[in-house]
Structure 1
Amino acid sequence: MHLKKKLKSWRKKSMNSNNFITLIIKMIGTQCNMRCEYCYEHALGDNDHKKTSTSSDVIEYLKNFLDYHNVFILFHGGEPFLANYNEVAIVANFIKNNFRHNYRVQFQTNGTLLNDNWIGLMESFGDRISLSISLDPIGKRDLRHSNSFDYRKKVIENLKKYVSRIDNVGIVSVIHKYNVLDYENFIIDMNKIGLKNFTANKYKGDLGVAISELEYVDFLKKIAIKYIKNKWYKTINLEPINSLFSKKNKLCIYMADDNKCSYFKTFYGVRDSSEYCDHVVNKNILKIGKQCKNCSVYSFCGGGCLAEIKDETFCDARKELYNFIQRIKHENN
């Protein structure tokens, strides 16, 4: 079975069970070799989140989830490949030898530190591994910055070198007002070097570069039309487009589930973990309000990310997105 079909089948089984979890493992806290302007990690301000955890610390944490039937383990940062290779390898061996049910492993990285050792470690997971690399279109202004090197050149070199060795490699991009017009060409260029999986997330900050929810929906509509017209769907997996057009999307920002944030746990250190995902900085998760639940598109919209402050266009934009998708589905039936 092709890996995409395996992952789709696994996600479907996961969502039909109460026994699934995403574990975000931050062995090096927020340490990173880059200083991207929009990185939400900058808001943490907690020295404990900058500490390095040992393999023993992580293993003791992971032991709490061995009986879960569906586990997604995400090595995150900062930059996870700043961690000691041998320590990560010990954790990797524990996962392979002790998780007895369905599990998947992913590394979320800026892609600058990829090397033969890290790739070899990931290959040892077989078809259970995925690699997610953060990279944006340059546009009129690049909000991603390295401290002392040409990060983009390095990432592209690494992608060309390693994309054929890991079957499931994806590019995660942050869309803002300086690059929103450049994403289409970015996909085409990345696809030429072998990338097939793309995710376009909206920048949610307040640096004066964010786009509104309505502008993001306009972006998604234009990309979706290109995706269908050019038949990109035959060779490219583009999120959130694919999930939005599926019968049951699995993206938390569109999931209509009161408990969706509790399906994520974050490990910051031996005495510091969170019952929610890493985006919930203050650890005080909001609840989905009655206004959302009573909305005609709630089952599609899900109220968005509960840790995000919604702008004034949010509700109308989500309704417009829902109507657009229904219209496209109707036209293509």
Structure 2
Amino acid sequence: MHSSPVQHGPIDELYRGLTADDGAAAVSVILKVRGETCDIDCLYCYEKRKEAPGGARIDAGQVRRLAEIFPGRRLAIELHGGEPLTAGREHIGEVLRELAAQPSVIRVSIQTNGVLLDDAWLDLFESAYPGLRIGVSLDGDAKGNAWRVGYDGAPVYPKVAAALRLLAARGWKAGAIAAVTPAVVGRAEEVLDHLAGFEAVNAVSFVPCFDTPVQRPTASSGRRLPASRLLQQAAVGAEDGPAWAISPSQYAEFVLAATARWITGGHFTRLKLEPAVSTIRRLRGLGTGFCHFSDLKCDHVFTLYPDGRLGSCDELPWPQAQITRLGQTAGEPAIVAAQRQLPLLNQGKGLMGRCSGCSYRSVCGGGCIATRWRYEKAGDQDAYCDYRMRMIDGIAALLAQPAHPDGAWCRAARWRPQTRTACGTSMSSSLSGTARTWTVRPCGYTPARTATSTPSVSPASTRPMTSTRATRSGTRRSRPVSARWSTPSPARGAASRTTAARATRTTASACSRPSAGSGSCRATARSTPAWPPPCAVRPPPRPPPCPLPFK
């Protein structure tokens, strides 16, 4: 059993570097099997905006070389693109069989648009790598998939939906990656219900299209532009970004609405939802394999292209993210040395300096380095931080009172870590070796009714869930928590009593769910007693059930 390296500061808690003495930490390798080559032409595709040669394919020999470079290191492999299935069944079969022969490979997944998926492909998967995990890109319902089209401009949704039905008929399960664009904003419940309606879908990950900086259409080598590129040209060029881009605040509101529906609609019984689950695990002090919330960030994620380029996470800009070439590196020590000299990674880690004094850092985990880098370039990194805090506040409120989902839109309720426990119980978490304790309140706890009280939601109890990457263990359970209100100090004396008396006559802030895109809290004047505040997340009469039955 390897021990984790000692961390030396707040940034180290959020961004763990790859070191030779940390062999217990797995690394993720994204295989761009065909580079950017794809059989469809999504308007928002980030891969096609990179400088990448097309036509070549990653082969079994390159896979074998990866295992030699990282001896003794556990590898989580993802076949990605472009569209990996365009490499052909015979070629993909060779790659999968080589991966199955490598003892260091602990997990293999494939991300596909589903258009080419058929019985023959599933037969291959079952014979070459029975434990293969399948991810399908689908942005919700037909309306939500407006940006996912073929080169002829026609929507591909019907073919992808048919692929998911085929997976269900064959007994396969798949995760769905859904891009959040204006086509789904304001319709989170409808979109989640639609995805949950596919029997094969057992996980949904909502990813944001933070593409405001994109000002130019994707370059095209041909003389005649396909219909899809003409559609893209019409969508690009506005000052506030392309037509498929959304703001961080829009994404936060979408995630909260989807999470509320996930709980109240009962989807949590069979469906994993991200980023909700990772937020919940971090609120409990548990680890997660989602790098946006984990300390295993860009140093532990690699991307390999068919021409041998080996670099960091594929969401970072290329060629700046390139570290070395597969045939030119001597092994892991050389890669570690090259990482530490890569300006892009050093800049990304430096951007997390602002996280060191943030009270949300133990849950937020610092977020995505690539996204932070883009917003720093645009001079608006605050917008990214605001969305992360808003999402944590809302999900903490949903967990505290799942029977009152409107509490997620209360701007007065703010989550914060606690240092003491109630009823003699405590829940400690380990974040990169640093212990933290959280307040655990029994349900039914009644807050003191004082005008100076401010609701603060403590983390909720959930059952541990298997994450998508290597995580640290920790499976402590506790009772569900409720909202906690602070009480005024006795030293305030008459001033406190006077303020409390005024509470029955003054107005109160009534927080309710914002309309699509507004993201704000509305204040309403009331003549009735102002306590408890209408926006408060009130404890229910009975303890709510644990919202996560996953194991």
Structure 2 length-normalised TM: 0.53
Q: Distance in 2 between matches of 1:126 and 1:59?
A: 15
Distance 1:302 1:193, change over 3 A: closer
- Structure of higher CA gyration radius: 2
Residue 66 of structure 1: CA displacement?
Answer: 6.3
Runs of 4+ in 1 over 4 A off after TM superposition: none
Mapping for residues 17-36 of structure 1, pairs under 5 Å: 18-36=24-42
Q: Distance in 2 between matches of 1:242 and 1:252?
A: 13
Task: Specify every segment of 5 or more residues in structure 1 that has no aligned partner in the other structure, as ranges.
Answer: 1-15
1:177-208 Cα deviation digits (max 9, x unpaired): 22223343233233333122211111121214
AA at the equivalent of 2:115: T
Residue 38 of structure 1: CA displacement?
Answer: 0.9
Residue 131 of structure 1: CA displacement?
Answer: 0.6
Say what the alpha-carbon RMSD is for the aligned residues: 2.3
Residue 89 of structure 1: aligned partner: 93
**8 Å contact kept, 2:97–2:128:** no
Q: Distance in 1 between matches of 2:32 and 2:145?
A: 29
Q: Distance in 2 between matches of 1:222 and 1:163?
A: 27
Say whether 1:249 aligns with 2:254: no
Structure 1 length-normalised TM: 0.85
1:98-124 Cα deviation digits (max 9, x unpaired): x22461111111110112222122223
Q: 1:216 aligns with which of 251, 256, 264?
A: 251
Mapping for residues 309-324 of structure 1, pairs under 5 Å: 309-310=374-375, 311=380, 312-324=382-394
Q: Distance in 1 between matches of 2:202 and 2:144?
A: 25
Q: 1:79 aligns with which of 74, 78, 83?
A: 83
Task: Specify every segment of 5 or more residues in structure 2 that has no aligned partner in the other structure, as ranges.
Answer: 1-21, 213-241, 322-343, 403-479, 481-551
Distance 1:18 1:96, change over 3 A: same
Mapping for residues 8-23 of structure 1, pairs under 5 Å: 18-23=24-29
Residue 126 of structure 2: aligned partner: 123
Mapping for residues 1-333 of structure 1, pairs under 5 Å: 18-47=24-53, 50-64=54-68, 67-97=71-101, 99-101=102-104, 103-124=106-127, 128-137=131-140, 138-139=142-143, 142-148=146-152, 150-165=155-170, 167-194=172-199, 195-206=201-212, 207-246=242-281, 247-255=286-294, 257=295, 260-274=297-311, 276-281=312-317, 282-283=320-321, 284-285=344-345, 286-287=348-349, 288-308=351-371, 309-310=374-375, 311=380, 312-331=382-401, 333=480
Higher mean Cα deviation, 280-289 or 232-241? 280-289
Q: Helix, strand or coil: the match of 1:159?
A: helix
Q: Distance in 2 between matches of 1:141 and 1:93?
A: 34
Report the identity percentage: 24
**8 Å contact kept, 1:176–1:209:** yes
Q: Helix, strand or coil: the match of 2:103?
A: coil
| Structure with the larger RCO, 1 or 2 (CA within 8 Å, 6+ apart) | 1
Q: Distance in 2 between matches of 1:140 and 1:81?
A: 24
Distance 1:66 1:46, change over 3 A: closer
Higher mean Cα deviation, 138-147 or 76-85? 138-147
Distance 1:168 1:101, change over 3 A: farther
